[in-house]
Chains A and B, each alone.
Chain A
Amino acid sequence: MKTDTVLLQIKNLKAYFSSTLVLKDISLDVSTNKVVALIGPSGCGKSTFIRCLNRMHEETPEAHVQGEVILNKQNIYAPSADPVLIRRKVGMVFQKPNPFPGMSIFDNVALGLRLLGIRKRSVLEEKVHSSLVQAALWNEVKNILKRPGTSLSGGQQQRLCIARTLATTPSVILMDEPTSALDPVSTMRIEELIRHLVQTVTVVIVTHNMQQASRISDNTAFLLNGELVEYEKTSRLFTNPSDPRTEQYITGRFG
């Protein structure tokens, strides 16, 4: 872990909903091209944590954040940092597949590119194609690009959302329980996809499924009541966790 380059460095992160402290002083490093899984019981602050990594937390009314998140040597919470620019570098995939309503498959992927000022049809087509290929969806949709994104199956929709995120070439992708609404086969496809994606991006994934975390992640963080209990290599955390609370949680004991 020490030899890897650190892409995302979280230092003393505290997140609030109005005056309630939901994340208590969290510090951890995310290395380039790794999958980091966040596990923990409901309400422990996993989702809030990843939402702090692309400044999405502050979109909730009365929510605010303290601390630093350093992405590629720049603090995304610096006063001069622009959330819009940060979100282009830190993409996000949500729990429910959410293709934009009434938009075709092509447009769903192309929207982010158009936003970046790409207008040329050939360039758009090329980028949409490569994103869909990367998201392992191209073969299924190459003949139906004009159909609405919502006409696809749940698993396909989620891959479409991943393609949409990939189109703007982010360096980090945050995933908030991306497979919790999907069937096992779609789940496996997404998991496989994530393992492919880490060759080019870094993935931070929240999951309720501990087996999923142990299958796909390189490092795992266990959060409990807004506290980071343990952050370890996944192979270590699931065979011999050092904190008794982690052991209790992963073996099914709850206090």
Chain B
Amino acid sequence: MNYLSPTPRDFYRKYFSHFMMGILALLSCIALVPFIAISFFIIQKGWDGLSLGFFTEIPAPPAEGGGGMGNALLGSAVIVGMASLLGIPWGMGAGIFMSEYPGQKLGRILRFTIDLLTTVPSIVVGIFIYHLVVIHYGFSAFAGALALCVIMLPIVAKSTEEILRLVPQHIREAGLALGLPRWRVIINILIPGTYSMLITGVILAIARIAGETAPLLFTSLGNQFYAQNLSEPTSTLPVQIYEFAKSGFKELESLAWSGALVLIVFVFLVNLTVRSILFLYKRRMEK
């Protein structure tokens, strides 16, 4: 008998393998269902409400119909922009410190704190800023930005740290061996070398805070009109979706669906951009 010829047990094993693979494939298909359902649902409900007016006009009173979410889009952009302006350098600084000075006691404490901060529910952050800022100065875009900044900080710090840690130690040593001081190694070698990946981390953090609702309820509140300055209550897309969806008016609900569609498309686009950057980066590295 050929010593490679299968025994009955081998047949059984083969079919069992096929069977298990089938189950896994089925489960994977089921996992796709929520995603497809959500997309389909939101596109169906929100598509009709999309028009140029949606992006520029303020919401019309429920009885009139029409109107748009221009104020919320602008508010979101401003608040997310301010939060990023503050949170990105801050978070990256912390990330660089954690990755490049691991021996320092401060670094260890920082890493622990940042890990804790990541797990703090966003609504708690909202309450915190409410007590710290809103009680004294009232609801404002500033307060909203501050709350988002606190949420963004650990994400950016963590991703920066992890990306910098991907750079092999001998690259740093090569820089040091050339006679570069440590800060020069960071600025001239590590950051340029991981540029696109760092940006990727930042973009993902922005996408994350763009969808935050809970902390904004306590801080920037909302506004039916365009906010006149940064210290006024300001409407943001997630909060306005929330408000309109529970308002009970059909016109406002349809605006909320359109808003949700815009939000989801934004997050998709961000993810797509990030993926293509990563893909291009990888290809460049491999070349």
Contacts and interface: CB of A to CB of B under 8 A. Distances in A.
Q: Do chains A and B touch in the complex (CB under 8 A)?
A: yes
B179 interface: yes
Interface string A71-107: 0000000000000111110011011101011110000
Interface string B185-221: 0001100111100000000000000000000000000
B187 to A, nearest CB: 11
B285 A112 contact: no
A148 B188 CA distance: 15
Interface in B75-104: 102-103
B115 interface: no
A161 interface: yes
A85 B170 CA distance: 19
A98 B171 contact: yes
A56 interface: yes
B279 to A, nearest CB: 15
A101 B184 contact: no
A102 B171 contact: no
Given A101-B167, A111-B188, A59 B178 contact: no
Please indicate which of the listed interface residues A96, A115, A148 has the most CB atoms of chain B within 10 Å of its own CB. A115
Contacts of B102: 61
A92 B193 contact: no
B165 to A, nearest CB: 14
A168 interface: yes
Contact of A100 (B103, B174, B176, B284): B174
A112 B195 CA distance: 20
A91 B193 contact: no
B181 interface: yes
Interface residues of B, number: 25
A213 B282 CA distance: 38
Given A61-B102, A103-B193, A98 B178 contact: no
B285 A164 contact: no
B180 A101 contact: no
Nearest to B285: A150
B194 A84 contact: no
Contacts of B174: 92, 94, 98, 100, 161, 164
Contact of A98 (B103, B170, B194, B287): B170
A182 to B, nearest CB: 15
Interface of B: 102-103, 167-168, 170-171, 173-181, 184, 188-189, 192-195, 284-285, 287
Interface of A: 54, 56, 59, 61-62, 84-88, 91-92, 94-96, 98, 100-103, 111-112, 115, 148, 150-151, 161, 164-165, 168, 174
Given A87-B176, A91-B178, A115-B184, 15 more contacts: A59-B173, A59-B176, A86-B179, A101-B171, A101-B194, A102-B195, A103-B189, A111-B189, A112-B180, A115-B188, A151-B287, A161-B174, A164-B178, A165-B178, A174-B177
